[in-house]
Copies of this chain bind each other. A is one copy, B any other.
């Protein structure tokens, strides 16, 4: 899923230690971005937060800030989906849908305004086309999983046959996305909850 090294320019061979350092930088940068925002975070901040030096940073990310941004985007995108498992991949009963809904709400309640998805959609995506692509792919995968769930339920007869999986899935994803966005701006969870509840209720018919 991560596919490291495909887009980013060839990095030198990494030993175990090197890989660990690289990972530490990405994770630390991600945390820093979440906490202070992408624009406000400087490379020196990241060095300080991860106990590394600039030379290490450029050793692992020869293309500099942009490449690091991309790596962090991928890291955060992975996390967004992982955080919804195992529910998201198994939406085959109403109980599973409810559990998924609760997991999403709980996750966003606890992380509040500092969340991977928020960082992706607000800042990272606008920084570089490469990161935008990462976000686009994330959304695609996400919607696919929701749509799969709708199809499964429809085959069971639990969802009416006239419900369009693609369209309804798209609407639900948009609701979540918007709910998170509003959470980022107001600190209130109500819209995310409303979007999920209304969206799933609509599926129930």
A181 to B194, CA, bound (A): 18
Chain B residues positioned under 8 Å from A186 (CB to CB): 136, 139
Classify chain A: how many residues form its interface, as a range.
35 or more
Give the interface segment out of A60-68, A93-101, A169-177.
Answer: A169-177
* 26 residue pairs from A and B, CB less than 8 Å apart: A37-B126, A39-B123, A121-B181, A122-B122, A123-B126, A125-B185, A135-B185, A139-B182, A139-B186, A167-B198, A168-B194, A168-B198, A170-B190, A170-B194, A170-B195, A171-B198, A173-B182, A173-B191, A174-B176, A174-B192, A174-B195, A177-B181, A178-B178, A178-B181, A201-B202, A202-B202
Partner-B contacts on A (CB < 8 A): 37, 39, 121-123, 125-127, 132, 135-136, 139, 167-168, 170-171, 173-182, 184-186, 190-192, 194-195, 197-199, 201-202
